[in-house]
Amino acid sequence: MQTGVNKSNLSTSPAARAETVLHRLRRRYPRVRSQLTWNSPWELLVSTILAAQCTDTRVNAVTPRFFSRWPTIADLAQAEQSEVEEIIRSTGLYRNKTKNLIQSARKLVENYDAQVPSTMQDLLTLPGVARKTANIVLSHGFGRHEGIAVDTHVKRVSYRLGLTRSKDPGKIEHDLMPLFPRPAWGEINHLLVWFGREVCQARSPKCSQCILTDICPREGVVG
């Protein structure tokens, strides 16, 4: 456990700090993975859309019924708005999520032969899909690393670690990409998410239990 702060380590470059972050978090989470349950790029896309402002546990409780009712993209493209809303209601923002899911399914049927595309450019044409969702689908559904998904945990932890000075997700992604090897872009999202949930929490970060204390400038941390 790292509890003391070595001031000399805090003066290292963000690149050197990022290398240490990746190394230590890999040791802490040797089998890091998404907590969402999915079996195909389509199921991953749906689950990721549903996970917006919702816990993975809640999404995993909803998706079995969802995919049982609409097992294919073509099935969802013909779904009734009200029926989808009823099934995903507990995930929050259910009206917008329903609209985006149905419209995305229809677009996939019309333009992509009812298949989830494997490029950033094509994924971003789908309703409700921004870079975060597209990065997750590409990295974990297709093994393609086009960027780093920036959610609330990645945003908070990377800022506190001094890996970015921005709080804008797009700028944060731009700052993080040169700091980590491209094959690790999908992995670093999971590592920072898990670490943010367990240790570097929003309201009460567990700095005394942190394995990154000696290299962390604690940007924005009060106390």
Statement: residue 131 has pLDDT above 60? yes
HEC string of 23-37?
HHHHHHCCCCCCCCC
Torsion of CA 179, 184, 190, 196, to 10 degrees: -20
Give the structural domain span for 14. 7-33+147-215
* CATH value at residue 102: 1.10.340.30
Exactly one of 56, 97, 151, 214 is catalytic; name it.
151
Exactly one of 97, 132, 155, 175 is catalytic; name it.
132
* 60 vs 9: CA distance, rounded Å: 41
C-alpha 81, offset from chain centre: 26
The pLDDT confidence band at residue 43, using thresholds 50, 70 and 90, is very high
Q: Does the active-site annotation cover 151?
A: yes
Mean pLDDT, the chain, integer: 94
Section 116-122 average pLDDT: 97
* 76 vs 67: CA distance, rounded Å: 9
Examine the fold and report which residue of 69, 97, 115 is the final residue of a domain before the chain moves on. Answer: 115
**pLDDT per position as a tens digit, 53-110:** 999 999 999 999 999 999 999 999 999 999 999 999 999 999 999 999 999 999 999 9
* CATH value at residue 164: 1.10.1670.10
Lowest mean pLDDT segment, chosen from 8-17, 35-44, 167-176, 187-196: 8-17
